[in-house]
Chains A and B, each alone.
Chain A
Amino acid sequence: MKHIADLPVRVIAGCSLADLRPKALPPYAPEAVAFLTAWSKQLLARPDIRAYPDVASFAYWCRPANLARLHRELGCQQLRMGRGVALHIAPANVPVNFAYSFAFGLLAGNANIVRVSESLPAQADIVCAEANDLLSQADHGRIASMNTLLSYPRNDDITQRLSAVADVRLLWGGDQTIEHLRRMPVSPRCVDIAFADRYSLCLLSAPAVLMAESKALQALAVGFYNDVFLLDQNACSSPHLILWQGTVQEVEAAQVRFWNAMQALLHTKGQSPGIHAVDKYTHLCRTAIQVKGAKATPTADNRVFRVALDELPENIAEHRGRFGFFFETIDNDLAQLRRIVNTRYQTLTCFGVDAHVLAEIVVSHGLAGIDRVVPVGKALDIGVIWDGYDLIRNMSRIVATQ
């Protein structure tokens, strides 16, 4: 069995690196499921859970029924087990991303080394504290012996030594990080699953927006808000572009209705930092200079900036804004979509359009990108199928017989 020398890291939960026993389990092993459901229960029982909807979503995702459903979906046609040691390099500014990454590795049957960023906000501490509590209990001894959540300041030497023992690496954090981490030597059998920078967009049916009852419209606005504003429109799956379908008149009317609903919702959310407004205005000017035919659509205030385009440039993904900055165009036959999509495209959220039909268009037209088509509001719902990968299958190996 592999032995990892102790390194200057701070162990947050689980065992020390020197004590790690990387003995793989089958996917959805009872021990792993028991730990995750206990973690879920403890998190949901916390009185402060309401303050952290992202933690609550994670806890809810780990509930027994959901894990049982995922287990069923994986099926048992093949005998599978974890690849061995999974190293997780989680992003610095999505508070609970490391927890999902860890859960995926665990459910696939791996021993896990999870690097938790030192700069994460309070909710990460809560998630870690509950994990630490459980992993100190004898009930979860098996899980504790094969998992460690740790933290260390940027240090390539440590990351390199951890990479050397990994059988699978989950690399979050975008193109630059991936390029950097890929240069580190890994074992010949090691599988890297890299989450590169991605671009996402939204398709709205104008007639559907116009016909939506006020409750449905409100739900659409809340969903869109969650997709965009929870992570400053900076998540890979947050939309930056809205494709509208309908006649010009329908679209204009639907835009008024949709953005008024957004405006009303945003008003209840308090002020955003002042620099965001200046950032967005600067981006508007930058866009005006770089994108031919860009027209600013006046908005009631600085919470949202909108740019109308008759025709999308092929590189529209390079002009993504942040903090509530949107491009809008009409694309009834999806000709523009087909023209712009490349491997960078990840999530297409939609309202009033059948997601399955859209997914089939991706396949039938052989589009180079778009890995997910989900309803508005589900953009950030991470799961075992993510970024085009089946993470459980990719992080486990098949023991074949004939």
Chain B
Amino acid sequence: MMPAPNFLPWLEYGPYGLDATRKRQLMLQAMRELTQWHTQQCTEYRRVMQALQLDLASLENLEDVPYLPVRLFKEFELVSVPRDDVFKTMTSSGTSGQQVSKIFLDKATASLQTKVLSRLMTGLLGKKRVPMLVIDSRSALKDRLAFSARGAGILGFSMFGLDVTYALEDAMQLDIPALESFVARHTEGPIFLFGFTFMIWQYLLQPLLKSGSRLPLDRGILLHGGGWKKLQDQAVGNDRFKQALHDVAGLSRVVNYYGMVEQTGSLYMECEHGHLHAPVFSDVIVRRLEDFEVAAHGEEGVIEVLSMLPRSYPGHALLTEDRGTILGEDDCPCGRLGKYFHVHGRLAQAEVRGCSDTHETHR
């Protein structure tokens, strides 16, 4: 029986401090150990490995590591530790009726997530906690949504904040008095703003753009994520989003991140050149949709994400349903090492033909 892999020594590397050769070597080692660990620990994962008939002992390339599709976490409870060790279950945000992903965390995995996230946040905010404004309402934490992706994200990032203040009332209206008093309390030094991309656009930017009023948040560092899907529907891209934030709140440091509840902790953050970067704890592979072979740099495909953190659930290598392009490796003008990439959005859902789909279906 192998023990759970231990990657704590990795924390000693700078988050973007490994070049391609070193990273490949260490990441492959981590992926091998995790693949073996989950094969041993998780029945469902083992069955998938058996069906794929791979020789796990001789995985030679990062690209050969078997990956699970993210949707599997919506249909199966995939756990690699005894149930008694699970102390927190995370779920993805889903509208009612949709299935949600269930991610089972034991203390060790949760603690690793926190440590890695701290590392990444230190790069953004420095070592000290910073006054924090959450662009959301406190209700996101209530009514059992506590560990939905939205609630969990807010709670997770709140660890790095002081005087955590919510910018929206329960009805998603801007809480102007709360904002004014927050700004009045913190007249110097940086301010940390966090929120989900769509919420920021809809409930912070829209009211301000409409009313023409401005917020004095020019010292702010805004971190946002959660996807662009709803904004793409309104034809709003990163540039327009940033410009609007600059116009209404004087914000010049706006950082997008790519991440998912299935791999909490090892985020991909945007650099000052607008590129998402893989930190040493995770990696990204883009695959061609026609055969899942690895796409060339610059070529669009479906995104696979690797993370060395998941131990209590088999989520170390996941095929997402997002489209992306690797832009390069180790050579971003920002100086960070590792792969950097762009996310284009979700794969389009296709209309299904066939007689078993009923005429009664709501459209």
Residue among A97, A278, A294, A322 making CB contact with B355, cutoff 8 Å = A97
Q: Is B143 an interface residue (CB 8 A)?
A: no
Residue among B51, B291, B358, B360 making CB contact with A288, cutoff 8 Å = B51
Q: Is B7 an interface residue (CB 8 A)?
A: no
A271-289 toward B: CB 8 Å interface, digit per residue (1/0)?
1011111100110111111
Q: Is B349 an interface residue (CB 8 A)?
A: yes
Q: Are A275 and B51 in contact (CB under 8 A)?
A: no
Q: Are B51 and A93 in contact (CB under 8 A)?
A: no
Segment 324-363 of B: residues with Cβ below 8 Å from A: 347-363
Residue among B52, B53, B356 making CB contact with A174, cutoff 8 Å = B356
Which one of B67-75, B99-107, B260-268 is at the A interface? B67-75
- CA of A278 to CA of B302 in the docked complex: distance in angstroms? 9
Which one of A62-70, A295-303, A349-357, A366-374 is at the B interface? A295-303
Q: Are A173 and B302 in contact (CB under 8 A)?
A: no
Among A92, A172, A236, A271, find the residue whose CB has the most chain B CB atoms closer than 10 A: A92
- CA of A166 to CA of B264 in the docked complex: distance in angstroms? 57
Segment 41-100 of B: residues with Cβ below 8 Å from A: 44, 47-48, 50-53, 68-69, 71-72, 75-76
Which one of A22-30, A72-80, A125-133, A227-235 is at the B interface? A227-235
- CA of A233 to CA of B72 in the docked complex: distance in angstroms? 22
Q: Which residue of A lies closest to B289 (CB)?
A: A274
Is the contact region of chain A dominated by helix, strand, or loop, or is it mixed? loop
Set of chain B residues within 8 Å of A238, measured between Cβ atoms: 354
Residue among B69, B349, B355, B359 making CB contact with A281, cutoff 8 Å = B69
Segment 273-311 of B: residues with Cβ below 8 Å from A: 289-292, 302
Q: Which residue of B lies closest to A271 (CB)?
A: B290
Set of chain A residues within 8 Å of B76, measured between Cβ atoms: 286, 289
Q: Which residue of A lies closest to B67 (CB)?
A: A281
Q: Are A288 and B50 in contact (CB under 8 A)?
A: yes
Q: Are A289 and B355 in contact (CB under 8 A)?
A: no
Set of chain B residues within 8 Å of A89, measured between Cβ atoms: 359
Q: Are B72 and A92 in contact (CB under 8 A)?
A: no
B residues at A contact (CB < 8 Å): 44, 47-48, 50-53, 68-69, 71-72, 75-76, 289-292, 302, 319, 321, 323, 347-363
Q: Which residue of B lies closest to A320 (CB)?
A: B356
- CA of A36 to CA of B350 in the docked complex: distance in angstroms? 34
A residues at B contact (CB < 8 Å): 89-94, 97, 115, 117, 119, 154, 172-174, 176-177, 180, 195, 197, 230-236, 238, 271, 273-278, 281-282, 284-289, 294-296, 300-303, 307, 322
Residue among A119, A154, A180, A301 making CB contact with B290, cutoff 8 Å = A301
Q: Which residue of A lies closest to B48 (CB)?
A: A288
Residue among B52, B350, B355 making CB contact with A173, cutoff 8 Å = B355
Set of chain B residues within 8 Å of A115, measured between Cβ atoms: 359
Q: Are A275 and B69 in contact (CB under 8 A)?
A: no
Q: Are A282 and B69 in contact (CB under 8 A)?
A: yes
Query: With contacts A234-B352, A295-B50, A295-B53 known, what are 6 further pairs, Cβ within 8 A?
Result: A173-B355, A234-B354, A234-B356, A235-B356, A277-B290, A286-B72
Closest Cβ of chain B to A285, distance in Å, is: 5
- CA of A238 to CA of B51 in the docked complex: distance in angstroms? 25
A-B contact pairs, 23 of them (CB 8 A): A90-B359, A91-B355, A97-B355, A154-B360, A154-B362, A173-B355, A173-B356, A174-B355, A232-B354, A234-B357, A235-B353, A235-B355, A275-B348, A277-B290, A278-B289, A278-B321, A282-B69, A286-B75, A288-B52, A296-B53, A301-B291, A302-B292, A322-B354
Q: Are B53 and A94 in contact (CB under 8 A)?
A: no
- CA of A373 to CA of B161 in the docked complex: distance in angstroms? 69
Known A281-B319, A287-B51, A301-B290; contact A173-B357, beta-carbon cutoff 8 A: yes
Closest Cβ of chain B to A273, distance in Å, is: 4
Known A231-B353, A296-B53; contact A91-B358, beta-carbon cutoff 8 A: yes
Set of chain A residues within 8 Å of B47, measured between Cβ atoms: 288-289
Closest Cβ of chain A to B118, distance in Å, is: 33
Q: Are B292 and A93 in contact (CB under 8 A)?
A: no
Set of chain A residues within 8 Å of B362, measured between Cβ atoms: 154
- CA of A164 to CA of B293 in the docked complex: distance in angstroms? 57
- CA of A144 to CA of B46 in the docked complex: distance in angstroms? 63
Set of chain B residues within 8 Å of A97, measured between Cβ atoms: 355
In the A-B complex, the 9 residue pairs with the closest CB atoms:
A234-B354, A288-B51, A274-B289, A301-B291, A177-B358, A173-B358, A282-B69, A273-B350, A174-B356
Q: Are B290 and A174 in contact (CB under 8 A)?
A: no
Set of chain A residues within 8 Å of B52, measured between Cβ atoms: 288, 296
Q: Are A234 and B323 in contact (CB under 8 A)?
A: no
- CA of A275 to CA of B346 in the docked complex: distance in angstroms? 9
Known A295-B51, A302-B290; contact A285-B69, beta-carbon cutoff 8 A: yes
Q: Are B48 and A274 in contact (CB under 8 A)?
A: no
Q: Are A275 and B350 in contact (CB under 8 A)?
A: yes
Set of chain B residues within 8 Å of A289, measured between Cβ atoms: 44, 47-48, 76
Q: Which residue of B lies closest to A178 (CB)?
A: B358
- CA of A294 to CA of B49 in the docked complex: distance in angstroms? 11
Set of chain A residues within 8 Å of B44, measured between Cβ atoms: 289
Q: Are A93 and B352 in contact (CB under 8 A)?
A: yes
Closest Cβ of chain A to B198, distance in Å, is: 22
Set of chain A residues within 8 Å of B359, measured between Cβ atoms: 89-92, 115, 117, 154, 172-173, 177
Known A282-B69, A282-B71, A282-B72; contact A177-B360, beta-carbon cutoff 8 A: yes
Q: Which residue of A lies closest to B291 (CB)?
A: A301
Residue among A91, A295, A296 making CB contact with B357, cutoff 8 Å = A91
Q: Which residue of B lies closest to A116 (CB)?
A: B359
Residue among A233, A284, A294, A300 making CB contact with B291, cutoff 8 Å = A300
Q: Are B358 and A92 in contact (CB under 8 A)?
A: yes
Set of chain B residues within 8 Å of A278, measured between Cβ atoms: 69, 71, 289, 302, 319, 321, 347
- CA of A90 to CA of B357 in the docked complex: distance in angstroms? 11
Q: Are B51 and A92 in contact (CB under 8 A)?
A: no
Closest Cβ of chain A to B2, distance in Å, is: 22
Set of chain A residues within 8 Å of B71, measured between Cβ atoms: 278, 282
Q: Are A173 and B360 in contact (CB under 8 A)?
A: yes
Set of chain A residues within 8 Å of B347, measured between Cβ atoms: 273-275, 278
Residue among B48, B51, B354 making CB contact with A235, cutoff 8 Å = B354
Closest Cβ of chain A to B304, distance in Å, is: 11
Set of chain B residues within 8 Å of A294, measured between Cβ atoms: 51
Q: Which residue of B lies closest to A181 (CB)?
A: B360
Q: Which residue of A lies closest to B75 (CB)?
A: A286
Known A282-B72, A296-B53, A302-B289; contact A119-B363, beta-carbon cutoff 8 A: yes
